Each structure stands twice: as C-alpha cells, then as structure tokens.
Structure 1
Amino acid sequence: MTAAQTPHENQPPHKNQPPDEPHRQQDAPAQGPAAAADPAAGPELARELREGVLIALAVAVSGVLLGVLWAWLAPRVPLIADTRNVYLKNTEGEEAIGADGTFVLLAFGFGVLSAAVVFLFRRRGGIPLVVSLAVGGLLAAVLGWLTGMWLGPTPDVVAHAKQVGAGVVFDGPLRLQAKGALLAWPIAGMLTQIALSGLFGPRDPEPDGLMVPDWSGHHQQPPTAD
C-alpha cells in the first residue's frame, strides 16, 4: 500500500512565475514617472518667474519716456475764451485725434523696441516672458499716459483762461480720448516676442531616424505559456 497524497502533491510543478512576481511588475510602472521627472524643472520655473517680474518692472518704468515724448510731440488743442465761456478755436480741428494717434505710434514703437531688447539679451521665449512683456507694456502705457498729461498743459481750463485773459488763444490739456490706445504697447511687445522666437529662437533637436508607423496590422504576439 502507498501513502495517500494530498491534492497539492498530485499537481504537476508550475511553470508560471512565483506569486510575488506580478506584484513586482505592477509596482514597476508606478516608479516610472518619479524616475523620469526632471529635478531641475522646479528651480528653472522659479528662475523664469523671477526674470519675468524683473522684465515687467523694467518695461513699466520705461513708460516715463513714452510720456515725455508724447507731451513733446503731440499736437496741442487751441482754445479761446471770452468773459464767460471757453471755446475751441478750430471747431473742425483734428488735434485731439492727432494726440491719440501720436500716442499709439509711440507706444507701438516702444513695444517693438522693448521686446527686441529683451530677446537680444535672453535669446529665448516662453510663456512667462510673453506674459511679463504684456503686463509690463500695459503698466508702461498707463504710466506714459499719466506722465504726458502731467507734463502737458494744466487740466484746469477755467483757471488757465482767466490767467491768459479773454480773446487770447491758449493750449488745452493733453488727453487720451481713445483708451484702447493703451493696448498698443502690450500687443506690439507680445507679437514681436513671438515673431523673434519663431525666427531666431533655439530649435528643438530633430530625431535621428524617421519613424514609420506599421499599418499592415500584423503585430508580433508575445509567446504564451503552456
């Protein structure tokens, strides 16, 4: 007589992987993203944000020069007063429109120049840089607008008319009729930065070989265990 064998002893030896092997295979992909993460991504982003803040401040401060040039080059609006009221000397004059046009042209030129200078020193683009140029350009346009009005003729028209006397022509205050002109600097800066980055910016390395997808439908199947 032979000793009785347990069902576990009657089964043939397994050729499959040990029980703990699938667990190791499932844990392996979870370590992929952590291993593939770039440890320098955080400091690089922080450095770009610091540079963006500094660029925005530098561009905003340059708006003072815009205001000086606007107050110097913008046409004046001639006014004349009598003993009671103040009137436009030329009722069909276009001096007010000329002041807005002068501001737009100067702001657009400053936007192109500021973006070109930043690209010349940095030689690369990026979203933080474009945003910093847009924010800095808007702040510069507002600062230039306020500076130009401050440097121009006094906004107190009644006091100015009393000072010069009745029947004497004097310059009206420098004003920006179309507030949309404040967007000329940031738009010009963004467009110039994008254009320069596309034309002269660094290029991504191209792959060594051309990868052609397999459209035949014949895919090699991995061998299955018996």
Structure 2
Amino acid sequence: MSAPLTPPPPPHDHEQAAASYPYGKAGDVAYPRHGWWDGQDGPGMKAEIREAAVTTVAVALGGVLLGVLWWWLAPRVPYVGGVIGDNWVVYPKDSEGEQVIGVDGTFSLLALGFGAVSALVVFLVRRRGGVPLVVALAVGGLLGSLLAWWLGVRLGPAQDVIAQARSAGEGVTFDAPLKLSAKGALLAWPFAALVLHLGLTGLFGPRDPEQFSPAEPYVSPGA
C-alpha cells in the first residue's frame, strides 16, 4: 500500500501568493499591484510629475546665468553713425567683421555647456530616466535659452541705434545692440541636455529586472 499523497499547504497570506504568481490583474488577491499612478512600483506618476515640474523650473532659472555670461563674453559689434542730408544713418564700422557670428557662436557654446551641466546634475540627483523627466529637461532648457536671450538683450546696449549714434556723435564708434541672429541657437541647450541625459541613463542607469515566466500550478501525481 502506498502512502497517501499530501498536497502542498496553501499560501498563508497574500504576500506568499503574490510571490508565487507575480503576474496578473492589478487588484487580484493573488497578484501584487503594479500601478504606476498609485506609486506601488516606483515613485508613481504623481511624484514623477511633481519632480518634473521642479526640474523644469530649476533648469529654466539657469537661463539667468546664461544671459549674464552671454552679455559679458559676447564680442561687441562696432557701429558708426553719420548724417546724410537731414537724416541720421547707422552702418557697421567693419562690414567684413565676424563679430556677429561670434555673438551667435558664444551663445551656442554657452548653451551647449549649460545643457551638459543640467543633464549631469539631473542624472546625479535622480539616477534614472523617465518620460516626465526627459520632457522637463527639454522644456526647461528651451525656457532657459529664451530667458537668457531676453536678459542678454536687456543688459546690452540700447536697441535704439539712432539715439546712440546721436549721443555718440557723427563718425564716433559705438556698440550695436546685442542680438541673436541665428535663432536655432535656442535649441542648443535642450538638445545637449537630452542627448547627454539619455546617454548617461543608458550607460549608468538602473537595469530592469529580468522577467520570469509564471510558475506552473502544482498538480498532484495521483490526480
């Protein structure tokens, strides 16, 4: 006579059942919840959105420093004013000068540097990616570039070149207003931030755990 087969004891609680069957519909007794919104797996969508909003504001405020550096480091474009008839005219002192290109280039290089720094700081603080965070970096970088452009123009020489020419006198050189001719430079910050952050996340970010197939239900040999 063979000994009776004893079936395995049932799970003692929900946690043991969830560990045995890790896949299933959220909310089932035997399965854990994997809701992104309710925060059971990671910080949750609400926390992600809050962190993304803070990141956007923090990155955008960096545009103040970018604007000051641009105004300080950008080359000056010399202009000269004169009187023709009864009217004042203003023209560049050096028609073949590269100062205008230097103004745009200075902004672009500074923006690329700010993009790299912001991406590195955000990665070191968060240590992972996520769609809200990537969008925050892009939007914050673009807003920071716009703020830097606006502030640099305001800090630079006055926009009324005729008034400047009259104030300086006929034939006297004065600095032209600071302006950004290549508007594509505004995208340098968000582009650099996105590329570097995605690269850092891909190289050093956390890896997703390996997924295992669900355990087969126990079947008694005598069944």
TM-score, with structure 1 as normaliser: 0.75
What's 2:181 paired with? Answer: 177
What's 2:62 paired with? Answer: 62
Partner amino acid, structure 2, of 1:74:
A
Q: Does 1:86 align with 2:90?
A: yes
Distance 1:190 1:94 in 2: 31
Q: Does 1:97 align with 2:122?
A: no
What's 2:132 paired with? Answer: 128
How far off is 1:141 after superposition? 0.2
Percent of aligned pairs with the same amino acid:
55
What's 1:166 paired with? Answer: 170
How far off is 1:121 after superposition? 1.1
How many residues matched? 179
> Residues 118 and 39 of structure 1: is their aligned pair in 2 closer, same or farther, counting only changes over 3 Å?
same
What does the per-residue CA deviation read over 1:82-118, in whole Å, with 9 as the maximum and x for residues that have no partner? 1231111001111111100110000010000001011
Equivalent residues of 2:52, 2:133 under 8 A apart? yes
What's 1:42 paired with? Answer: 38
Instruction: Tell me the C-alpha RMSD between the 2 structures.
Output: 1.7
What's 1:187 paired with? Answer: 191
Distance 2:121 2:26 in 1: 39
How far off is 1:32 after superposition? 3.5
Equivalent residues of 2:26, 2:35 under 8 A apart? no
What's 1:221 paired with? Answer: none
Q: Does 1:138 align with 2:142?
A: yes
SS of the residue aligned with 2:187?
helix
> Residues 169 and 47 of structure 1: is their aligned pair in 2 closer, same or farther, counting only changes over 3 Å?
same
TM-score, with structure 2 as normaliser: 0.76
> Residues 120 and 32 of structure 1: is their aligned pair in 2 closer, same or farther, counting only changes over 3 Å?
closer
Q: Does 1:147 align with 2:147?
A: no
Distance 1:122 1:70 in 2: 29
Structure 2 residue runs of 5 or longer lacking an equivalent are 1-23, 214-223
What's 2:52 paired with? Answer: 52
SS of the residue aligned with 1:82?
strand
Distance 1:109 1:178 in 2: 18
Greater share of helix: 1
Partner amino acid, structure 1, of 2:135:
V
> Residues 160 and 206 of structure 1: is their aligned pair in 2 closer, same or farther, counting only changes over 3 Å?
same
Q: Does 1:75 align with 2:71?
A: no
Structure 1 residue runs of 5 or longer lacking an equivalent are 1-30, 210-226
Distance 1:201 1:33 in 2: 27
What does the per-residue CA deviation read over 1:37-80, in whole Å, with 9 as the maximum and x for residues that have no partner? 42564341100000000000000011000000000111111000
Distance 1:56 1:101 in 2: 25
Q: Which deviates the most, 131-140 or 119-128?
A: 119-128
Partner amino acid, structure 1, of 2:38:
G
Distance 1:126 1:32 in 2: 24
SS of the residue aligned with 2:159?
coil
